[in-house]
Amino acid sequence: MKFLIFPDRLGDAAENMALDFLMLQRFTPADAFRFRHYEWRRPAFTFGLSQKIDFIRQQLPEETLDISRRATGGGLVDHREDWTYALVIPRKHDLCQRPGPNVYRQIHAAMVDALNQQSAGVCLEEQPPETPMGICFTRAEINDVVLATNGTKVAGAAMKRNKKGLLFQGSIWKPLLPGLDWERFAEAFPASLAKLADAEIEYPGWPDFDPDEETALIDQYASPEWIEAR
């Protein structure tokens, strides 16, 4: 099985969310793992599919921001200083068939391994939170990545599973890891994931999505109808 790593790409919130969804829905071969790291053209926040827009607007800082609703769940995520990635697990792989909490733990365990290659001092959160999640990074969910010294949340993620596979969108809060070599991590983390998947890493270049469909989906993710759907 192949573990495909796409080139880094800069995008706005709607573009990044649309491209992640196209990675899940439209990429072939469908039996390959797909991974990408990306950055943000402007200060951006994203929020979970089921979250209420009134709640989200109350939490946003008073500055001009680029926002979009994700296709995945989870809480409000600040992308102004994070390291963002997306992973698609193919439908037929054993990892995709496992319960969501198990998948979440395995991927974050691979992240812990990659971060601790640089003595980051992180581990998995073992205790569930006492209150429901609304804003990511305010407190850790079970199996999030946290600082071993004080339990501060370092990384979290959200998932969407359908007949095509499983989309895993994750974020690491970089200010909590000063001095980390992010280029080194960008190699170590996919390598750790590929080992978990028992897959061979390849670098195929950027996917050749249908340009009209790509444009239409970006427009959808940027539209008030999508952003204010709830």
pLDDT, tens digit (0-9, with 9 covering 90-100), for 208-219:
999 999 999 999
pLDDT digits (tens, 9 = 90+) for 27-41: 998 999 999 999 999
Tens digit of pLDDT for each residue in 59-81? 998 887 899 999 999 999 999 99
Domain count, the chain: 1
Statement: residue 226 has pLDDT above 70: yes
Beta bridge partners of 147: 122
Q: What is the mean pLDDT of residues 8-27?
A: 96
Does residue 25 sit within a domain?
Answer: yes
- Confidence grade of residue 227 (pLDDT, cut at 50, 70, 90): very high
Measured in degrees and rounded to the nearest 5, phi and psi for residue 121 equal 70, 45
| Average pLDDT of span 109-119 | 98
Residue 109 belongs to some domain of the structure: no
What CATH number has the domain bearing residue 32? 3.30.930.10
138 part of a folded domain: no
Q: What is the mean pLDDT of residues 186-204?
A: 97
Q: What pLDDT score does 64 carry? A: 77
> Per the domain annotation, does 10 fall within a domain?
yes
The confidence score (pLDDT) of residue 219 equals 96
190 lies in a domain? Answer: yes
CA distance readout (Å), 209 to 8, 15, 25, 28, 67: 16, 13, 10, 10, 23
pLDDT tens figures, 124-160: 998 876 655 555 556 688 999 999 999 999 999 999 9
Mean per-residue pLDDT, 84-109? 96
Taking the C-alpha atoms of residue 19 and residue 32, their distance in angstroms, rounded to an integer, is 17
Average pLDDT of the segment spanning 47-55: 93
**Residue 34 covered by a domain:** yes
Residue 132: the pLDDT is 54
Kindly state whether residue 106 falls inside one of the protein's structural domains.
no
pLDDT at residue 27, rounded to an integer: 94
Q: What is the pLDDT of residue 23?
A: 97
Query: What type of residue is 140?
Result: A
Contact 73, 159 (CB under 8 A): yes
- Residue 230 pLDDT: 82
Q: Is residue 123 part of a domain?
A: no
Contacts of 198 (CB under 8 A, 6+ apart): 1
Q: What is the mean pLDDT of residues 156-167?
A: 96
Whether pLDDT at 195 is above 80:
yes
Give 2's pLDDT tier (boundaries 50, 70, 90). very high
Which structural domain, as residue segments, surrounds residue 161?
A: 2-92+157-227
**CA pair distance 78, 194, nearest whole angstrom:** 27
